[in-house]
Structure 1
Amino acid sequence: MQARYFSLLFLLVFSGQIIAQTSFKSSVEELLQQEEYRNASVGINVIDLNSGENIFSLNPDKLLVPASTMKMITSGTTLEILGGDYRFKTQISYTGKIDKYGVLDGDLVLIAGADPALGSEYFQDHYFEFLKNWAKQVKASGINKVKGDLVLDAGIYDTERIPDSWVWGDIGNYYGAGPNAFTVYDNMYRITFSSPKKVGRLTQVIQTYPKIDGLQLVNEVLSADNNSDNAYVFGGPFDKHRVIRGTIPRNRSAFTIKASIPEPEKILAQAFLQNLLGEGIFVDGEIRLEKNINKKTKLIYMQESPTLAEIAEVLNHESVNLFAEHFLKQIAVEKNGLGNRNDAIDLVKEYWENRGLDMENIFMEDGSGLSHFNAVPPAFFTRFLTIMATNNAFVQSLPVAGEGTFKRFDTDRLPGKTLQAKSGSMTRVRCYSGYLTTNKGNKLVFSFMFNHFAGSHSTLIKEVEQLFVLLKTEY
């Protein structure tokens, strides 16, 4: 009887091992047979980081839209080229001379450093009252009055405000804010509504912050019986005429959405002037935008950003499009002297070609992944991530389960740094690329890319989480 018991136990354990060995593969196959994914374009590639062994492949060379996983390529490349200790620098300077009464016979000049984090809500401690500090620094330099203008030198960037392949439905919203030589406050303003109790009624705009001179809002937002922000702002750079459509929850005294600032440099200049007045410093002239001022300037103060590594961590944890676009352009700034997106993309490709990666079939249109024209195969991500595994600043910038864009992942099933990865999503697109440490201590590099699926994102998130758990258990 005892022998039969142990024989049965052996069979159960042995058969369980067989099931476990095939369960990841069979789970993928079962998933793709579901109606929501049957006609989708799906690519998966999983390799062992140390041995290079291919664990699983499904369409590894298929070109797919990466969405925000493109940020891994951008942030990783920028960290490789510029280094994690790199900082963006904004200069407060002046031209002319200061007389004995503190009158500057010249211009007060801000020279852009294309700092993506200037005044950002993600770095409030670093930039605490930064404009007040700037004004105090001007006062300390001996200036009480400026006879000239407040000049903003944006020569660090070209004239492009947003990538030309971004769609109209995105660019008026906060996540569609483009990089600016004078990016400030995340290039974002807030619109606060009140909504009636009844469903389907017109809402009312009660406040915008910060104040934007000349802003005209056409509000078509209706009340709805849900708790979701489904309101979208339509309008492009320089355009102060914005239309808002969609819905917000009913019966709210205050409900706030976020939108992209039409001209960030003017917001910065006006706020700086107000702080100068607070220090008793008057500027006789006007706000003037220039590029590459020829006159010799004298430095008053240098504002430095957090380190590139610190910004990269926010970029990848919170998936900040604006930061990614700044990172991309800064590569061209440092290599060519001018922040140009197309030049920066060429530099990214050149860098990785020199590192041995095939870039011929990598289609990169922006740094953030907001463009639907980006196309990258899963196999590229795993090759890229294999190289980047030695860059500690990059690996530490990736969120783990329970953090950032992975906050819905179960920390009991994927504890600590078991999973370090980046997600990407847009309409009918969801992708994941990163690192997974298994129960046996093996480190896997993976890329899961789902395009054109018909199901809900919340359902697919749970399906992918289960696949991660199976990988973690089996390998």
Structure 2
Amino acid sequence: MVQTRPIVIPSPPFLLGQKGDCPLFPSLFLLVVKPMPPRLRQRQAGSPFWRLPPLGLLLLIILLSAGSSASAGLGKRQPAPCGPPALNGLVTCGGYGVGSDRSPRLGHNLDRSFTPASILKIVTALAALEILGPDFRFATRFTVNTQGDLFIQGFGDPLLDSEEVLVIVKSLQALGLSQVHDLILDDSAFRLSAMGAGNDGTLNPYDAANGALAVNFNTINVQVMADGRVISAEPQTPTLPLMAEAGRHLAPGMQRINISQAKDRVPRYTGQLFQALLAKNGIQVQGAIRTGTTPAGLAPLLVHRAREPLVEMVRAMLRYSSNYIANQLFLTVGASRYDYPADWPKARRAVQNFYKTRLPKVAPFLHLEEGSGLSRKNTVTPAAMLAVLEAFRPFADLLPEKNTQRIKTGTMEGVYSLAGYLTSENGLESFVIILNQRKNSREAVLERLKRGL
């Protein structure tokens, strides 16, 4: 029996808008920050705990616009400009729908394409759950050669955090590993020549790069002391040499930073964490930490399976809007269909082909550049989103609960969306609201739709 432990993930991405995508405000550029502490745990019925230590206050700045026009059902996809307003001006550039995509009871601009922001994670989640399976668990392989080098081969486990690394170290210790020559990190399962679309490469945690072998979501949580010393801000993570380097120019206080902007820091961080926890448990790394490829033909000493099945990763991804988890799943779906190494084109092709088979009427109206919703090149029609929600109905409980409703939000500069299920006398009814406009009126639109049920 596998023992479940708490899922620990950093704050979900602060959503960063891009300029030049809005026909009304082409030069507008604002930063949108969604508040969320860096690590989370909360008890759910039948689920593990989710811890949520405090991080501090974050700011939400907003607004932009893009287009639509009125129609109903899954017809020909129509681009901007915006059509007529709806709901007494609450919707100036957007669309909404309630009910089945085949016969929506309420709708506006159902066949126009809009930038969806994070509600796109539902599209990614359905593909991952049906392609990989709810019980899928990520693997990380550990292999030792005749020289005593330990190879760590990653396959994209998004929950490979400090606590999980400690579990791995204890497993290696139990298997008789007592010393290591070189520690060799193998991230060859992902071939990512560039960051995902919509990732601006900043030091903010929401821009952490994806990869086959990364720990703690490619972020470091440090405490910068008044005297300039930099120490780990969490008990499960030892203070590592990279922390002093990454935090030396930061203001005093607790800081979570993305270390993936400098590519060499990712393997250094992973290697230093494994080295420190191996040493703490009596396994000394006598040689260097370096990158390399696991030799073919060597049987692994240990194949470690992620502590949580995919369904729980999806729950965390949707509840806390983790862009990092979303794109780890997106890339893994691509590799599962078209083999490793995973890359962005394989992921896009796999998800698109999945929908061509699973929901053939929807596929022409879904365009995914990446799996999280960060890219403004992602587009979806409200009618297509209703179809995805109908297919996602068996997994409705994975969506965040809000006042007995199951709702996923999406927020970027000038993009305000809601999608999920409203409670009616007939049970749960699918709904979607996508606004590509300056005013964030999505809650008011939702209230109007609820009154129309």
**Same fold? TM cut 0.5:** yes
Alignment of 1:287-302 (within 5 A): 287-294=289-296, 296-302=298-304
Measured at CA, do residues 130 and 316 of structure 1 come closer, stay the same or move farther in structure 2, by a change above 3 Å? closer
Secondary structure of the structure 2 residue equivalent to 1:298: coil
- d(CA) in 2 for partners of 1:43, 1:443: 20
Q: Please tell me the residue identity of whatever aligns with 2:447.
A: Q
Tell me whether 1:85 sits opposite 2:135 in the alignment.
Answer: yes
Asked whether the 8 Å contact 1:165–1:372 carries over to 2, the reply is yes
- d(CA) in 2 for partners of 1:144, 1:194: 36
1:177 to 208, 215, 225: 208
Secondary structure of the structure 2 residue equivalent to 1:92: strand
Asked whether the 8 Å contact 1:189–1:260 carries over to 2, the reply is yes
Q: Please tell me the residue identity of whatever aligns with 2:348.
A: I
Measured at CA, do residues 399 and 270 of structure 1 come closer, stay the same or move farther in structure 2, by a change above 3 Å? same
Structure 2 residues without counterparts, runs of 5 or longer: 1-83, 234-238
Counterpart in the other structure of 1:362: 366
Counterpart in the other structure of 1:349: 352
Q: Please tell me the residue identity of whatever aligns with 1:349.
A: Q
Secondary structure of the structure 1 residue equivalent to 2:373: coil
Counterpart in the other structure of 1:385: 389
Counterpart in the other structure of 2:158: 116
Measured at CA, do residues 378 and 136 of structure 1 come closer, stay the same or move farther in structure 2, by a change above 3 Å? same
Secondary structure of the structure 1 residue equivalent to 2:364: coil
Counterpart in the other structure of 1:14: none
Secondary structure of the structure 2 residue equivalent to 1:463: helix
Counterpart in the other structure of 1:449: 434
Counterpart in the other structure of 1:398: 399
Please state how far the C-alpha of 1:63 moved relative to its aligned partner: 1.1
Counterpart in the other structure of 2:94: 42
Q: What number of residue pairs does the alignment pair up?
A: 356
Asked whether the 8 Å contact 2:95–2:382 carries over to 1, the reply is yes
- d(CA) in 2 for partners of 1:163, 1:283: 34
Q: Please tell me the residue identity of whatever aligns with 2:346.
A: D
Between structure 1 and structure 2, the one with the greater Rg is 1
Please state how far the C-alpha of 1:192 moved relative to its aligned partner: 5.1
Asked whether the 8 Å contact 2:100–2:387 carries over to 1, the reply is no
Asked whether the 8 Å contact 2:182–2:286 carries over to 1, the reply is yes
Q: Please tell me the residue identity of whatever aligns with 2:173.
A: K
Asked whether the 8 Å contact 2:184–2:291 carries over to 1, the reply is yes
2:107 to 53, 57, 72: 57
Measured at CA, do residues 115 and 193 of structure 1 come closer, stay the same or move farther in structure 2, by a change above 3 Å? same
Asked whether the 8 Å contact 1:137–1:301 carries over to 2, the reply is no
Measured at CA, do residues 287 and 159 of structure 1 come closer, stay the same or move farther in structure 2, by a change above 3 Å? farther
Alignment of 1:128-147 (within 5 A): 129-146=163-180
Identity of aligned residues (%): 24
- d(CA) in 1 for partners of 2:172, 2:152: 12
Asked whether the 8 Å contact 2:100–2:386 carries over to 1, the reply is no
Bigger share in strand: 1
Q: Cα RMSD between the aligned structures?
A: 2.8
1:33 to 78, 81, 89: 89
Measured at CA, do residues 153 and 376 of structure 1 come closer, stay the same or move farther in structure 2, by a change above 3 Å? same
Asked whether the 8 Å contact 2:366–2:380 carries over to 1, the reply is yes
- d(CA) in 1 for partners of 2:88, 2:209: 37
Bigger share in helix: 1
- d(CA) in 2 for partners of 1:54, 1:130: 45
Q: Give per-residue Cα distances to partners, 1:178-200, cap 9 Å, x unaligned.
A: 211112212222355799xxxxx
Please state how far the C-alpha of 1:295 moved relative to its aligned partner: 5.2
Please state how far the C-alpha of 1:371 moved relative to its aligned partner: 1.1
Counterpart in the other structure of 2:325: 323
- d(CA) in 2 for partners of 1:136, 1:442: 48
Tell me whether 1:281 sits opposite 2:266 in the alignment.
Answer: no
Alignment of 1:95-244 (within 5 A): 95-96=145-146, 105-119=147-161, 129-146=163-180, 148-160=181-193, 162-168=195-201, 171-190=202-221, 209=233, 211=240, 212=242, 214-215=245-246, 218=249
- d(CA) in 2 for partners of 1:152, 1:295: 17
Asked whether the 8 Å contact 2:159–2:306 carries over to 1, the reply is no
Asked whether the 8 Å contact 2:365–2:384 carries over to 1, the reply is no
- d(CA) in 1 for partners of 2:303, 2:230: 38
- d(CA) in 2 for partners of 1:329, 1:381: 21
- d(CA) in 1 for partners of 2:117, 2:281: 46
- d(CA) in 1 for partners of 2:109, 2:316: 31
Q: Give per-residue Cα distances to partners, 1:384-439, cap 9 Å, x unaligned.
A: 212222xx3x31211111xxxxxxxxx3xxxx3xx21211001111111112121x
1:260 to 258, 261, 275: 258
Measured at CA, do residues 287 and 470 of structure 1 come closer, stay the same or move farther in structure 2, by a change above 3 Å? same
Q: Give per-residue Cα distances to partners, 1:347-388, cap 9 Å, x unaligned.
A: 111111112234234321110001122111111101121222
- d(CA) in 1 for partners of 2:429, 2:300: 53
Secondary structure of the structure 1 residue equivalent to 2:127: helix
Please state how far the C-alpha of 1:216 moved relative to its aligned partner: 6.3
Counterpart in the other structure of 2:45: none
Q: Please tell me the residue identity of whatever aligns with 2:352.
A: K
